[in-house]
Structure 1
Amino acid sequence: MVISSRADEARAAGPHGDAKAGRKGQRSTGVRSLRAQTYPYWFYAPAGIVYGLIFLVPTVISFYFAFTRWTLFDSEFIGLDNFRQFFSEQALVSGLKNTLIYAVVTSGLKVVLGMLLAVLLTGPIRSRGLMRSVIFFPVLVSTVAVGITFSVLLQPDVGVVSAVLAKVGITAPDWLGDPSTALLSVALVDVWKGVGLATLIYIAGILAIPKDYYEAVDVDGGGAWTKFRNVTVPLSRPATFTVILLSLIGGLRSFDLIWTMTGGGPGFSSDVIASIIYKTYQAGFFGLSTAGNVVLFILVTLIIYPLSRYFNSREVES
């Protein structure tokens, strides 16, 4: 009886009634889905508090103290004097150039080597799991331990690398003592330590590519190079963007490996902005070192933010 009465009501309402009921049902469904996707503001409060205490508050405070001459007990506002002094130092010009070179070299090599290793480790080879673990292992090792180890291995007289090259008749340079090779040597060690993470990101990106694309290349008679150029490289673009951003940020902020292996030397040949800031702070010029931190923050922001916007726009277009 209930079913028949509802059917009579529907017939009486006619087609307009059906349309209204349909629209009402769609609206109610949309409202329910929107409510299901919307979280209350208090849900974000813990993350917002942590973000504010760890990032926002220290950043604002550092911007203020960059304009002061301060110690642990008092501070004196001096305006832009810290920045004028910081930019008047010859070491800063050298450190800024070295920072950009270091970031570009390490980022570029991680992108290229990470992609090639990922293609190899997603292919039909034996012991893929073991090889992935071996390549990723340096990421887990302490940066200081890596720096100390390679400082010994790259010694010109007793180092293992120089001894191996001497066996084939090659005289090894003073890797860390020559101003022309010190920064590049540290950059290569940084690549060795960090390429495992880049490889892992690329492996995830390659495994997410549908197999249908590779099968289509097989049907067209394409080989491995065609698959790599026309399928793997373009469809791994999100992974490439991620590797570039992460490696650039790490390269611009790198300090511990450089300080452990060369201390910024010889001279200023391997000094970067982070090591200059540390030396300034170590000398007791706290306001000057804080100004250097602000300069580094602005440099990273000016490079990374436009790149991030550009990469996001390319992902939307594709």
Structure 2
Amino acid sequence: MTSVSPRTAGGSRRERREWLLFAALIGPNLALFAIFTYWPLLYNLYLSFVRWNFLRPRKPFVWLDNYIEVFTDTQFWIIALNTLTFTVCSVGLTLLIGLALALLINQPLRYRNAARAVLFSPVIMSGAVVAVVWSYIFDPRYGLLDQILGFVGASSPDWLGDPRWAMPAVILVYVWKNVGYAVVIYLAGLQGIPRELYDAARVDGAGAVDRFWHVTLPGLSPVAFFLSVTSLLACFQSFDIVKVLTDGGPAIATTTLIYHLYDLGFVSYDAGKAGVMAMVLFGVMLALTVIQLRYVEERVAYA
């Protein structure tokens, strides 16, 4: 008969207590995460295979019919192109303008702390509030832009009513609201680059452009990677600015995937097609994240 030593028994009891403590601490978080993240995702996947208008008690399965109807609709591809245009332009301009402003504010200038606060203030404002303010600025008869253009003898276009100008207007507002976030993150990255690297580059005869390409950009690559991931995901989910500024119009000139999801689900009450759009958005964002983590991160120079 094998006997268990008191030391072994004590160690087993201690391990069990540690596992119970771990389960008690992590269990509520995992439960909340499953309820509010995984369950909605699975239920949305289920809805994408049924025909339901939120009112009927029955949800008949139609399998892939919703997907076929969505992907064969010409409007879907126009909306997808709108989303691509909005995302590429908004994220690209936000990152580029944010980098330029961060490089400027990083210099020993007067009132640079005040400039940081001014640049960051739109970030903490509601997107709906920002859109309301800009809707008055864009007014072609009485808006601020009309007054400014009037000084040079030009007239303001119908920013929000003309399909040619509506998307640039939405992109402008989105960049204005979010560029301060990029500035603050870039500034943190710039201040984390060792000054010794710049001193060594000067000793080697590197000019300002060479220092920027060979010291600043590699040093900022982790920050730029972080900003690219978070900005892309946030841009795909941007809804409030489009809703308040243009309501997806004129026609569908500013309708994006997230806005189309809202329109299908809460205006047309077509839960099945809205579920398809949600799955499309989930798939696109997941693919972009995987591509960035798999290929872009390889070029990031971590210290």
TM-score, length-normalised on structure 1?
Answer: 0.83
CA distance in 2, matches of 1:195, 1:285: 36
Matches within 5 A, 1:167-206: 167-206=151-190
Distance 1:107 1:135, change over 3 A: same
Distance 1:116 1:209, change over 3 A: same
Pick which of 186-195 and 89-98 moved more.
Answer: 89-98
Indicate conservation of the 8 Å contact 1:103/1:250, yes or no: no
CA displacement, residues 169-189 of structure 1 (integer Å, 9 cap, x when unaligned): 222221111111111110111
SS of residue matched to 2:60? strand
SS of residue matched to 1:114? helix
Indicate conservation of the 8 Å contact 2:222/2:301, yes or no: no
Please name the residue that 2:271 is paired with.
286
Please name the residue that 1:65 is paired with.
47
Residue correspondences, number = 282
CA displacement, residues 246-286 of structure 1 (integer Å, 9 cap, x when unaligned): 11112222221111100111111111111111111211112
1:311 positional shift: 2.9
Indicate conservation of the 8 Å contact 2:225/2:300, yes or no: no
1:58 positional shift: 0.7
1:94 positional shift: 0.9
Please name the residue that 1:138 is paired with.
122
1:145 positional shift: 0.6
Indicate conservation of the 8 Å contact 2:80/2:257, yes or no: yes
Please name the residue that 1:94 is paired with.
78
**Larger Rg belongs to:** 1
Q: Which letter does structure 2 place at the counterpart of 1:55? A: T
1:48 aligns with 2:27: no
Please name the residue that 2:97 is paired with.
113
SS of residue matched to 1:180? helix
Indicate conservation of the 8 Å contact 2:218/2:301, yes or no: no
Q: Which runs of 5+ in 2 are unaligned?
A: 1-14
CA displacement, residues 276-310 of structure 1 (integer Å, 9 cap, x when unaligned): 11111211112211111111111211222211222
Please name the residue that 2:4 is paired with.
none
Q: Which letter does structure 1 place at the counterpart of 2:174? A: D
Please name the residue that 1:241 is paired with.
225
Alignment counterpart, residue 214 of structure 1, candidates 182, 194, 198 = 198
Indicate conservation of the 8 Å contact 1:176/1:185, yes or no: yes
Q: Which runs of 5+ in 1 are unaligned?
A: 1-34
CA displacement, residues 177-216 of structure 1 (integer Å, 9 cap, x when unaligned): 1111111110111000000111111111111111111111
Q: What is the aligned-residue RMSD (CA, Å)? A: 2.0
Indicate conservation of the 8 Å contact 1:144/1:257, yes or no: yes
CA distance in 2, matches of 1:75, 1:134: 51
Please name the residue that 1:14 is paired with.
none
CA distance in 2, matches of 1:170, 1:200: 36
Please name the residue that 1:9 is paired with.
none
Distance 1:212 1:316, change over 3 A: closer
1:68 positional shift: 0.7
Distance 1:293 1:153, change over 3 A: same
SS of residue matched to 2:300? helix
Q: Which letter does structure 1 place at the counterpart of 2:251? A: G
TM-score, length-normalised on structure 2?
Answer: 0.87
SS of residue matched to 1:260? helix
Indicate conservation of the 8 Å contact 1:241/1:311, yes or no: yes
CA distance in 2, matches of 1:52, 1:120: 45
